[in-house]
Protein backbone atom coordinates (compact mmCIF):
# COMPACT_ATOMS: atom_id res chain seq x y z
CA UNK A 1 0.00 0.00 0.00
CA UNK A 2 1.38 3.42 -0.94
CA UNK A 3 -1.05 5.48 1.19
CA UNK A 4 0.57 7.63 3.91
CA UNK A 5 -1.27 5.55 6.54
CA UNK A 6 1.00 2.58 5.79
CA UNK A 7 3.78 4.06 7.94
CA UNK A 8 1.52 3.81 11.03
CA UNK A 9 0.20 0.28 10.50
CA UNK A 10 1.78 -2.28 12.79
CA UNK A 11 2.89 0.14 15.51
CA UNK A 12 2.00 -1.22 18.95
CA UNK A 13 -0.80 0.09 21.15
CA UNK A 14 -0.12 1.60 24.55
CA UNK A 15 -2.65 3.27 26.83
CA UNK A 16 -0.89 6.64 26.93
CA UNK A 17 1.04 6.29 23.65
CA UNK A 18 1.45 9.50 21.67
CA UNK A 19 3.95 8.14 19.14
CA UNK A 20 6.06 7.61 17.32
CA UNK A 21 6.82 4.18 18.80
CA UNK A 22 3.37 3.32 20.20
CA UNK A 23 -0.09 4.88 20.19
CA UNK A 24 -3.33 5.05 22.11
CA UNK A 25 -6.33 5.58 19.83
CA UNK A 26 -6.40 9.33 20.65
CA UNK A 27 -2.61 9.63 20.50
CA UNK A 28 -2.72 8.18 16.97
CA UNK A 29 -5.32 10.74 15.86
CA UNK A 30 -3.36 13.62 17.37
CA UNK A 31 -0.16 12.53 15.65
CA UNK A 32 -1.83 12.02 12.27
CA UNK A 33 -3.65 15.33 12.28
CA UNK A 34 -0.52 17.23 13.28
CA UNK A 35 1.86 15.51 10.83
CA UNK A 36 -0.47 15.00 7.87
CA UNK A 37 -2.85 17.95 8.10
CA UNK A 38 -1.16 20.55 10.30
CA UNK A 39 -4.08 20.49 12.77
CA UNK A 40 -3.24 20.52 16.48
CA UNK A 41 -5.56 18.73 18.90
CA UNK A 42 -5.00 19.54 22.56
CA UNK A 43 -3.68 16.68 24.68
CA UNK A 44 -6.09 15.13 27.16
CA UNK A 45 -5.91 13.02 30.23
CA UNK A 46 -7.35 9.54 29.77
CA UNK A 47 -9.43 8.40 32.74
CA UNK A 48 -10.09 4.85 33.88
CA UNK A 49 -13.34 2.93 34.26
CA UNK A 50 -16.91 3.89 33.37
CA UNK A 51 -16.64 7.42 34.75
CA UNK A 52 -13.34 7.84 32.92
CA UNK A 53 -14.92 6.77 29.61
CA UNK A 54 -17.61 9.44 29.92
CA UNK A 55 -14.98 12.06 30.71
CA UNK A 56 -12.82 10.81 27.82
CA UNK A 57 -15.68 11.20 25.32
CA UNK A 58 -16.29 14.76 26.51
CA UNK A 59 -12.57 15.57 26.34
CA UNK A 60 -12.23 14.14 22.81
CA UNK A 61 -15.27 16.13 21.65
CA UNK A 62 -13.98 19.34 23.26
CA UNK A 63 -10.60 18.83 21.62
CA UNK A 64 -12.20 18.21 18.22
CA UNK A 65 -14.42 21.30 18.60
CA UNK A 66 -11.42 23.44 19.55
CA UNK A 67 -9.77 22.36 16.30
CA UNK A 68 -12.77 23.27 14.12
CA UNK A 69 -14.50 19.90 13.94
CA UNK A 70 -18.18 19.41 14.68
CA UNK A 71 -20.45 16.45 15.18
CA UNK A 72 -22.03 15.43 11.89
CA UNK A 73 -25.70 14.56 11.63
CA UNK A 74 -26.69 10.90 11.49
CA UNK A 75 -27.53 11.08 7.78
CA UNK A 76 -23.92 11.92 6.87
CA UNK A 77 -22.01 8.99 5.40
CA UNK A 78 -18.44 8.56 6.64
CA UNK A 79 -15.95 10.59 4.61
CA UNK A 80 -12.17 10.54 4.24
CA UNK A 81 -10.69 12.53 7.14
CA UNK A 82 -13.61 12.21 9.56
CA UNK A 83 -13.04 11.23 13.17
CA UNK A 84 -15.18 8.32 14.28
CA UNK A 85 -15.99 7.89 17.98
CA UNK A 86 -17.13 4.33 18.68
CA UNK A 87 -18.87 3.35 21.92
CA UNK A 88 -20.23 0.09 23.25
CA UNK A 89 -21.28 -1.00 26.72
CA UNK A 90 -17.68 -1.92 27.56
CA UNK A 91 -15.56 0.09 25.16
CA UNK A 92 -14.78 3.63 24.06
CA UNK A 93 -12.61 4.01 20.98
CA UNK A 94 -11.80 6.47 18.20
CA UNK A 95 -10.23 6.30 14.79
CA UNK A 96 -9.79 8.08 11.49
CA UNK A 97 -11.96 7.36 8.47
CA UNK A 98 -9.94 6.92 5.28
CA UNK A 99 -10.82 6.09 1.70
CA UNK A 100 -8.22 3.53 0.64
CA UNK A 101 -8.33 1.28 -2.42
CA UNK A 102 -11.86 2.43 -3.22
CA UNK A 103 -13.38 1.56 0.16
CA UNK A 104 -14.04 3.21 3.49
CA UNK A 105 -11.65 2.11 6.21
CA UNK A 106 -10.86 3.08 9.80
CA UNK A 107 -7.26 3.59 10.91
CA UNK A 108 -7.11 3.03 14.65
CA UNK A 109 -4.95 1.75 17.47
CA UNK A 110 -6.44 -1.46 18.82
CA UNK A 111 -5.52 -2.84 22.25
CA UNK A 112 -5.22 -6.30 20.76
CA UNK A 113 -3.57 -5.60 17.38
CA UNK A 114 -1.86 -2.22 17.54
CA UNK A 115 -2.39 0.23 14.69
CA UNK A 116 -4.56 -1.34 12.00
CA UNK A 117 -6.58 -0.30 8.96
CA UNK A 118 -9.93 -2.11 9.10
CA UNK A 119 -12.90 -2.04 6.76
CA UNK A 120 -15.52 0.42 8.03
CA UNK A 121 -18.11 -2.29 8.72
CA UNK A 122 -15.65 -4.42 10.69
CA UNK A 123 -14.35 -1.51 12.78
CA UNK A 124 -17.79 -0.25 13.85
CA UNK A 125 -19.60 -3.60 14.23
CA UNK A 126 -21.61 -3.59 17.47
CA UNK A 127 -20.71 0.00 18.28
CA UNK A 128 -22.66 3.25 18.54
CA UNK A 129 -20.94 5.66 16.16
CA UNK A 130 -20.50 9.42 16.07
CA UNK A 131 -18.81 11.11 13.14
CA UNK A 132 -16.90 14.36 13.61
CA UNK A 133 -15.61 16.35 10.67
CA UNK A 134 -15.24 19.63 8.87
CA UNK A 135 -17.99 19.71 6.25
CA UNK A 136 -20.88 21.90 5.27
CA UNK A 137 -24.38 20.62 5.97
H or E element in which residue 94 lies:
strand 92-100
Cβ-Cβ contacts under 8 Å for 14 (sequence gap 6 or more): 22, 23, 24
pLDDT at 95: 94
pLDDT in tens, 85-102: 998 887 788 999 999 988
Estimate to the nearest angstrom the gap between the alpha carbon of 65 and the chain centroid. Answer: 14
Sign of the CA dihedral with 73 first, then 76, 82, and 87 last: positive
Q: What is the tally of structural domains in the chain?
A: 1
Domain of residue 42 covers 4-133
Query: What CATH number is given to the structural domain containing 62?
Result: 3.90.1720.10
Question: Residue 11 above 80 pLDDT?
Answer: yes
pLDDT in tens, 30-77: 899 888 888 887 766 655 444 456 677 777 788 888 888 899 988 788
How far is 16 from 52, CA to CA, in rounded Å?
Answer: 14
Residue 90: other Cβ atoms inside 10 A: 7
Amino acid sequence: MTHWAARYIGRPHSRAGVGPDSFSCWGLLRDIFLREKGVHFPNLEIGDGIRGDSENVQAIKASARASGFRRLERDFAPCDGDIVIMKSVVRLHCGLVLRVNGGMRVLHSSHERGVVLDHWSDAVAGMTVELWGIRNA
